[in-house]
Amino acid sequence: MKVVVVTYKHVEDYDDADQWLDRIVSFTAVPEAMAQWCDVTSIHNINFSGCVKKNEVDYYFIKQSSLFEYFPYKINRLIQKLDPNIILVQGFSSPLQILFLKNLVSRSKIVVQHRSEKVGSGIKRSLQKVADKYISAYLFSSVEMATPWLENEIISERSKVYELPGSSSIFTTLDKSSARNKLGISGKAFLWIGRLNKNKDPVTVVKAFAKYVESNSSSRLYMIYQNFDLLDQVKETIRFLGLAKNIVLVGKVAHAELGLWFSACDFIICSSHYEGSNTAVLEAMSCGCIPIVTDIPSFKLHTNNGRVGYSFKAGNVDELANVLKATDKANLENYRSKVLDYFEHNLSLTVLSKKMYQIFQEV
């Protein structure tokens, strides 16, 4: 079987292939793992042209400006030349590109991987409905996330929907004591990773943690973030609630170094109101970090419908505070083993790549 993975969206900020692949390593890991069973080619639209081979996958880079993003002649011609059995399109934002592509590759089956897109309106929705005629399958992190797309008749048949996260983890658990010593962590440790914006909602976590440390003064929350939109508000909330000793604003951390944090901390908190799939939670679980996440559809598979980890309603400070207090009753070593076992059998690269391959065989 020959598989082509294609991302049509143009990324102007990257002009180096290796840097770009490092940036998206969690998303390329599943197709790379699948390369043991089939031929895999991956196509990207960055500010660079060339070809590299990595982990048995051929990566093509087509420099095509955003002006031609909707008319990707070079990319589609390359796909036609490769003549794959399966074309995996990343994201729901390329219906026009798919319609152009189908005229060139009538024999290939097209599969679309949902990222974080929401149902839109206007011309894009109309194009998505037309493109659906030529799409054989859709991959969602949770089948529940497909509901609005089915209700709006953008996806015509429920049988086209498959549950498969678009990423996994390249990390493995490290010795916890060693990781803690390197980072200077002691006591009960919680980790939060994300952008400091309203959707990720870091302020709710800070306020809930204030309630928790009233009876758990030795606990610490470490916050890793990649942008600074709400940083002033987060700092002010920490100052106002007197949490300077309990909340550590770590800031940016290189992706390669996150495994150390995931192995050192006991819990990973995700307070998002909406997610397509949260890679940081998957990565943390692969290192034994216990998830505390919002009860949104994308986390259903991550937590086995709430059986692994804890959940709370997005934006609810009191509910999160109660969840944090409930963790005091957990046997951390036993729960850590439970998380690692669930991840290995349901969310690991081996499992997800094999499932992806089986889906491709089915369609």
Q: Average per-residue pLDDT in the chain?
A: 95
Tell me the CATH number at 84: 3.40.50.2000
Q: Are residues 198 and 334 in the same domain?
A: yes
For the segment 149-159, what is each residue's pLDDT rounded down to a tens digit? 999 999 999 99
Q: Are residues 105 and 31 in the same domain?
A: yes
Residue 64: what pLDDT? 80
Residue 153: what pLDDT? 96
Looking at residue 300, its amino acid is K
For the segment 154-209, what is each residue's pLDDT rounded down to a tens digit? 999 999 999 999 899 999 999 999 999 999 999 999 999 999 999 999 999 999 99
For the segment 261-293, what is each residue's pLDDT rounded down to a tens digit? 999 999 999 999 999 888 999 999 999 999 999
Q: Are residues 161 and 239 in the same domain?
A: no
Q: Which domain holds residue 83?
A: 2-168+349-362
Q: How far apart are CA 38 and CA 51, in angstroms?
A: 19
For the segment 210-238, what is each residue's pLDDT rounded down to a tens digit? 999 999 999 999 999 988 999 999 999 99
Per-residue pLDDT for 67 more than 80? no
Residue 68's pLDDT band (cuts 50, 70, 90):
confident
Residue 36: what pLDDT? 94
Q: Are residues 89 and 184 in the same domain?
A: no
Q: In what order do the strands lie in the sheet with 161-163?
A: 50-54, 57-61, 39-46, 2-11, 86-90, 109-113, 135-140, 161-163
Per-residue pLDDT for 357 more than 90? yes
Q: How far apart are CA 105 and CA 89, in angstroms?
A: 14
> How many domains are contained in the chain?
2
For the segment 109-126, what is each residue's pLDDT rounded down to a tens digit? 999 999 989 998 999 999
Q: How far apart are CA 110 and CA 92, in angstroms?
A: 12
Residue 244: what pLDDT? 95
Q: Are residues 161 and 12 in the same domain?
A: yes
Judge whether 115 and 138 are in contact, CB under 8 Å. Answer: no
Residue 125: what pLDDT? 95
Percent of the chain residues topping a pLDDT of 90: 91
Q: Are residues 27 and 149 in the same domain?
A: yes
Q: Are residues 148 and 186 in the same domain?
A: no
